[in-house]
Amino acid sequence: MPVTATATSPVDILVIGGGACGTLVARHLLDAGGLRVALAEARHAPGLGVAYATPRAEHLLNVNAARMSAFDARPDDFVDFLARHPQCAGLDPGELPGMFAPRRLYGAYLQTRLDQAPAGASLMRLGDAVVDLARAADGWLATLASGETIRARAVVLATGNQPGVLPCVEPGVDVVEAWDYASVAAIDADAAVCIVGAGLSMVDVLLSLHANGHRGAVTALSRNGLMPLAHAPGTVPQAGGVDALLPLGVRARMRLLRRWAAEATAQGRPWQDALERLRPHVRTLWQAWPEAEQRRFLRHAVRLWDIHRHRIAPDIAAVVAAMSADGRFVLHAGRLTRIAAHEGQCAIEWTPRGSAPATLTADVIVNATGMEKRLARMPGPLWDALRTGGLVRPGPLGLGVATADDGALIDARGRPVGGLWTLGANRIGDLWETIAMPELRGQTARVAAAAAAHVQAMSSHR
């Protein structure tokens, strides 16, 4: 497949962001045939994105292989890839579907599937950031950080997870970002480490410290002191009963979910079954709530939801439990107020839940607060351009961007933007469940189909 061209050549479709979503959109477009496609990726090789760029063996997928196919039409595709991969040689093929594979293998899988696009398909790979996007005659004009420009008839915004900025940090404090895997791996084994945030990215950091034989104290600080729970082997998706949740508010839904979980355990099944029963319906459940109820969910229940829904592999949970049990790792619940440099260390001022303000000290601060969800705070020049150009408006509750059903962006005046789509985390306000591959793969196919149809319609109107 020819893969290079100059950035100034016009293309049919420009995909901005080469993580899992952008890469799969590109692959679907190449499969459609006859389209000139460009894929712009600022930081990683296409296919990796934030999640799969980790080179670390200890970072595992949090979804088993059976559910990680990149294609709805070929549900066994990832398991087949693993079965042929040298790193899985010698493993029992019957165990592959239940395996929580290293995330770097998933990145290799996506890269392979992009490389296997039909011979003759035209993909231009641009290893640069898009810093500006504006309407132009016949489509769009994108500007790269290098200053080069590229014209496209349609654009897909696959910018994925935007890093959240750690608040309350005074000048002079160096913060290690949890998604900067090389910097986390380079943390001195004797350093006292304070991780801010207690979700999946915090768990990643703990695993890397553990793998490096970390000896220093490790603390994590989160508002409620809750951590992701573990998957249960043998969880079987249960069908039915979801309609009963639809008319209920946050409290009543939580109560019913607890009842389902209790029923599952009473029948000798894992409580996780109750969550699996919901998974395909989360979008409908989210959209059935009026905005006030969605707000209530964010205020009172989101953290409980997250730790039950975004679970970790059992082996990983065992490492975290062992580190907690022998005191190598302590999780605090409280509110961070300030981090300042203090006598060669960092002083972390925080208010523990239900008690008076306190101060912790650490040598290294790690930001594991996860992704930025609010449009107003999305960082970088491209987002500045989209906001000032009126091409975006916030999604419900200010989360992500507002989109039409097919992922077309809705502009600041409330109209769908012709020829500009998005998917993934950007749609969180509209869909809520739009973060993991089981949902994203369908979006990639649908957005690619919409963009291809747009370009075809433009051609036939010429």
Ligand X SMILES: Cc1cc2nc3c(=O)[nH]c(=O)nc-3n(C[C@H](O)[C@H](O)[C@H](O)COP(=O)(O)OP(=O)(O)OC[C@H]3O[C@@H](n4cnc5c(N)ncnc54)[C@H](O)[C@@H]3O)c2cc1C
Which residues contact ligand X by CB under 6 A? 16-22, 40-44, 49-51, 61-63, 103, 129-130, 158-161, 200-201, 204, 382, 424-425, 435-437, 440
**Residue 113 or 253 having the CB closest to ligand X:** 113
Cα separation, 361 vs 363, whole angstroms:
7
Read off the amino acid at residue 32: A
410: amino acid identity, one letter: I
**Among residues 42 and 362, whose Cβ is nearest to ligand X?**
42
Cα separation, 212 vs 207, in Å, equals 9
The SS3 assignment for 90 reads coil
Q: In whole angstroms, how close is the CB of 325 to ligand X at the nearest point?
A: 25
The 8-class DSSP code of residue 88 comes to G
Q: What spatial distance separates the first Cα and last Cα of the chain, rounded to whole Å? A: 28
Q: Which is nearer to ligand X, 177 or 411 (CB)?
A: 177
Rank residues 107 and 334 by Cβ distance to ligand X and give the closer one: 107
Quote the CA–CA distance of 1 and 424 in Å, as a whole number.
27
Work out how close the CB of 207 gets to ligand X at its nearest, in angstroms, rounded to a whole number. 11
Strands 408-410 and 416-422: antiparallel
Per-residue HEC secondary structure of 251-304 comes to HHHHHHHHHHHHHHHHCCCCCHHHHHHHHHHHHHHHHHCCHHHHHHHHHHCHHH
Please identify, using beta-carbon distances, which residue of 46 and 270 lies nearer to ligand X: 46
- Which single residue is written with the structure tokens 């490790």? 218
State phi, psi for 423 to the nearest 5 degrees.
-160, 175
**Burial classification of residue 238, based on how many CB atoms lie within 10 Å of its CB (0-12 exposed, 13-18 middle, 19 or more buried):** middle
Taking the complex as a whole, how short is the minimal distance between the CB of residue 220 and ligand X, in angstroms? Answer: 15
Kindly give, in sequence order, each residue whose CB lies less than 8 Å from that of residue 392, ignoring residues fewer than 6 positions away: 375, 386, 401, 402, 409, 410, 411, 412
Burial class (CB in 10 A: 0-12, 13-18, 19+), 80: middle
Q: Which is nearer to ligand X, 159 or 367 (CB)?
A: 159
Comparing CB distances to ligand X, the nearer of 36 and 125 is: 125
How near is the Cβ of 342 to ligand X at its closest, in Å?
Answer: 30
- For the chain, the maximum distance between any two Cα atoms, rounded to a whole number of angstroms, is 70
Distance in Å, CB of 41 to ligand X, minimum: 5
Which of 26/348 has CB closer to ligand X? 26
Give me the least distance between CB of 16 and ligand X, in Å please.
5
Q: Which two tokens stand for residue 138?
A: 């016949």
Phi then psi for 104, rounded to 5 degrees? Answer: -65, -30
The one-character DSSP state at 401 is: B
**Orientation of helix 302-309 relative to helix 291-300, angle to 10°:** 70
Q: Please, which residue, 273 or 433, has the CB nearer to ligand X? A: 433
What are the beta bridge partners of residue 346? 341, 362
Least distance in angstroms from the C-beta of 291 to ligand X: 25
Nearest distance, CB of residue 25 and ligand X, angstroms: 9
**Shortest spacing between CB 392 and ligand X, in angstroms:** 13
CA 95 to chain centre: 26
Q: Whose Cβ is closer to ligand X: residue 253's or residue 427's? A: 427
- Least Å distance between CB 295 and ligand X? 24
